[in-house]
A and B are shown apart, each in its own frame.
Chain A
Amino acid sequence: MAGTVVVDTLQADSTSTLVLKNGVANTPPTVQDSAGTQIGTFCRAWVNFNGTGVVAIRAAFNVSSITDNGTGDYTVNFTTAMPDANYAVALTASAGNNNSSLVCTVKSATQYGAPSNQTTTACQIVLVNYVNSLIDSGAVYVSIFR
């Protein structure tokens, strides 16, 4: 049933979690201003994991697994696929306590090329230190927006 409900606050009772449920499959609700212009969207997937030792996932949403491909090289696999591969990846990681530089990128098949290792089902990322060597990080954070 289509329609508009005008309220100031949406609040679940003390025993429930508030749920926003869209009527279209694999499409999250959007945030609009008073003019009906879309001004925001929700995070499609995120993960916080330890990339050292035996890789360990601390917390995640819509991530089925992390593939440890090698030193500083990981793939984030999605539980529910993205609608296309044109999503944005917000990516960072801890560089430790010695102010070392750390570059976090989506892995590409060609230098400075389009992020070709970004598909609807997974996104491969690499961490590189100041001498251009792959390096592990104890705290890797990845967020996906579309």
Chain B
Amino acid sequence: MDKLIIYPNDNGGVAILVPTESLELAMKDIPSGKPYLIVDAADIPTDRTFRNAWTADFTDAEVKA
């Protein structure tokens, strides 16, 4: 998938939702009340050395109903 969904997880990090078939189908898997962003897969770092320390700016993100 070229597009992924990111949202803040409960540990202060970032969860990355990777769709199997389509972005539309995967939208249901975003927890309710979480802000989320749709991003290009190419924008996700491939080096996971500090994966649990990743952060993102969700200031202008939509919130899952």
- Name A residues whose Cβ lies closer than 8 Å to a Cβ of B: 47, 49, 52-57, 60, 63-71, 77, 79, 121-122, 136
Contacts and interface: CB of A to CB of B under 8 A. Distances in A.
Contacts, number: 67
Contact of B26 (A53, A64, A71): A64
Query: Chain B interface secondary structure, helix, strand, loop or mixed?
Result: mixed
Query: Chain A interface secondary structure, helix, strand, loop or mixed?
Result: strand
Contacts of B9: 69-70
B29 A67 contact: yes
Interface residues of B, number: 21
B25 A55 contact: no
Interface string B1-40: 0001000010101011111110001101100000000000
B28 to A, nearest CB: 7
Contacts of A65: 17-20, 25-26, 29
